Amino acid sequence: QRMLMSRLVGTEVDVVKVSHHGSADQHPELYRQLKPAVALIGVGDDNDYGHPTDRALDTLGAIGSAVVRSDQSGTATLHRNEAGEIELWSERAG
């Protein structure tokens, strides 16, 4: 993630896939730079590793990212509506 920083200067994204299931090994500055509207975290139900970590979730929350976790949402899809807004569908609506 640190190596990506220099390559992505000035880049903002709509959606980011959070690396390593939202482990503590994140580079918060990368997420602050990218400013994703949506952050996808693939993580298993009842994992023993504590993923995603509070640190990762706090980083994403502080920049206003909507977090979509597979352990809570199940399968999820994103699409843009006619107004260009990102909409989410998930098998576990909540």
Q: Return the residue matching tokens 């807004």.
A: 85
- Cβ(63)–Cβ(39) under 8 Å? no
Q: How confident is the model at residue 13 (pLDDT cuts 50, 70, 90)?
A: very high
* Mean pLDDT estimate for the chain: 92
pTM value is 0.88
Asked whether the predicted pLDDT for residue 94 surpasses 60, the reply is no
Q: What is the mean pLDDT of residues 48-59?
A: 91
Q: What is the mean pLDDT of residues 67-77?
A: 95
